[in-house]
Every structure is written in structure tokens, then in C-alpha cells.
Amino acid sequence: MNNIGLILSYDGSRYHGWQIQENLPTIQGTLQNAARKITKEPVNIIGCGRTDTGVHARHYVATFKTDCTIPIDRVPAALNSLLPRDIVVRDATVMVDGFHPVRSCIKKEYTYVVHNTRYPNPFYANYAHYHIGKLPIDTLQRAANHFIGEHDFASMRSLGTEVKSTVRHVYSFDVVDTEHGVDFVISANGFLYNMARTMAGTLLAVARGAISPDDIPEILESRDRSRAGATAPPQGLYMTNVIYR
């Protein structure tokens, strides 16, 4: 049985997240239906993480096991012929048997896109968060730097999936000045539920002057969700990279 790895990109605007939900369109469910049609087997798709309703992915990794003998170089085209245009399989590879898209992962990267021109752009409505007011890049980067390292991120998550520990290691958090606003680019060994969106929302609170950049260490130490910024809306968030050992 082959362990097939897929790299895909998707627009999450009309989906209720990655994970299969009964009677609701999801990325996993749509991809799994296509994979079952080309293999003619009851395959199960496993993804590298859960993305929420409206969240996008530029680089996402999934796997499925199959006895189907379709040549691996034909798998992307075969799947794409059955998938809607907002989900695209970009590559397929036969993986080693022990590879798992979650357990083998050592680093994930998310990018949160903030649109900050004079007026909102209607074409960004589903793909960026519109922020009114100045975005002080240096101040935001100073705040972001406080997240780097190993911390307890309980104050940066929403209640949801239970986890054994709320400690995570953030490797980098870059505030990137763009033509239309800023990108918050965050890499870590793992993310808690809504962690990336809450970190983005906290930086936007810094931009408004509601939180000082140097308040971040105390907010993390408090483990108090109410002291952080609001959870930023989902449409600005993209999974942008996944690194494996």
C-alpha cells in the first residue's frame, strides 16, 4: 500500500474549514471524495492541521494510503479534474511508510494579511483583514519580538480542542511592510486553536494604542485570554509553509 503525499493550495472562503463536518462543505471532505473516485477505494485523507472556516492555505500537506497503481505524476491532474477550482493539488509524492503530516512536522508557518489603504478594496474582502488607522511597523515588530521563543501561549488561544500543553516555541514573527498594508508571518513548532489569529489581533491592538508592545511578556505570563487582543477575522489567515524532519 502506497502512502501518497499531496501538496495543495486552497481558497477557504466557501468552506467550513479543513475537517470533515456532516452536511457542510469542507476541504478534507471535498478532497477525500475526489481521491476515492480516482482510486475506487475508501481512502481517508489526513491533513497537516485544522484550518478554520474562511481560512486559506498557500501550502498545505495531506496524505492518503492506497493500493491504486495510477502513476504518481498523474495524481495531481487526476484529482484536479474532479476538484472545484478553489482547491488545487500542486504535487504528489510517494512517502515513506512512517511519514505522517502532523506527527512528522517540525515547523509550521502562517501569514496574516492586513489591508490598510485609504478605502477598503472589495476584491480583498475574503482574502485580507481591513484595518483603519496607522500601522507603525517598527512598533509592531518590537511587540512581535516578545512572542519569539518558548512560552506558554494560553493567553493567545480560544477554547476548543483540548491539548496536553499550551507551551509552544515560536521561531520567528516578522512584520512585513507591503504595498497594501502588512503581513504578519509567524513560524512555530505548533499552534493552539486561534493562536495565530489572536497574536495578529494583539498586534492590531498595539497599532491602535490599546496595548503597549512591552505589555506582551506580562500578558503571556498571565495566561489570561482577556488581556490579549481580539481574535482577528479568519479571512486574513493563510497557512504558508510546513517543514518536516
Q: SS3 for 10?
A: strand
Q: Is 91 annotated in the active site?
A: no
Q: Which residue type occupies 79?
A: L
The two beta strands, 149-152 and 167-178, are antiparallel
CA distance 201 to 229: 5
Kindly report, residue by residue over 96-137, the tens digit of the pLDDT.
Answer: 989 999 999 999 999 999 999 989 999 999 999 999 988 999
- Matching residue, cell 509552544: 168
- Matching residue, cell 485523507: 45
Is residue 30's pLDDT more than 90? yes
Q: Are 16 and 108 a contacting pair, CB within 8 Å? A: no
The two beta strands, 105-115 and 87-95, are unpaired
Q: Is 124 left (phi over 0), alpha (psi -120 to 50) or beta?
A: alpha
- 106-244 placed in CATH 3.20.20.70: no
Exposure of 21 by Cβ count < 10 A (0-12 exposed, 13-18 middle, 19+ buried)? middle
Q: Is the dihedral of CA 30, 87, 104, 66 positive or negative?
A: positive
- 2-95 placed in CATH 3.30.70.360: no
Domain boundaries for CATH 3.30.70.580 within the chain = 2-95
Is residue 162's pLDDT more than 80? no
Kindly report, residue by residue over 59-99, the tens digit of the pLDDT.
Answer: 999 999 999 989 999 999 999 999 999 999 999 999 998 99
pLDDT > 90: what percent of the chain? Answer: 94
Q: SS3 for 227?
A: helix
**131-152 in b/e burial notation, b at 16+ Cβ within 10 A?**
beeebbeebbbbbbebbbeebe
Q: Are 26 and 105 a contacting pair, CB within 8 Å? A: no
Kindly report, residue by residue over 163-217, the tens digit of the pLDDT.
Answer: 889 999 999 999 999 999 999 999 999 999 999 999 999 999 999 999 999 999 9
Global model pTM greater than 0.85:
yes
Please give the pLDDT value at position 202. Answer: 98
Domain boundaries for CATH 3.30.70.660 within the chain = 106-244
Is residue 139's pLDDT more than 90? yes
Active-site residue identified among 52, 91, 183, 215: 52
CA distance 117 to 166: 36
Confidence of residue 14 (pLDDT cuts 50, 70, 90): very high
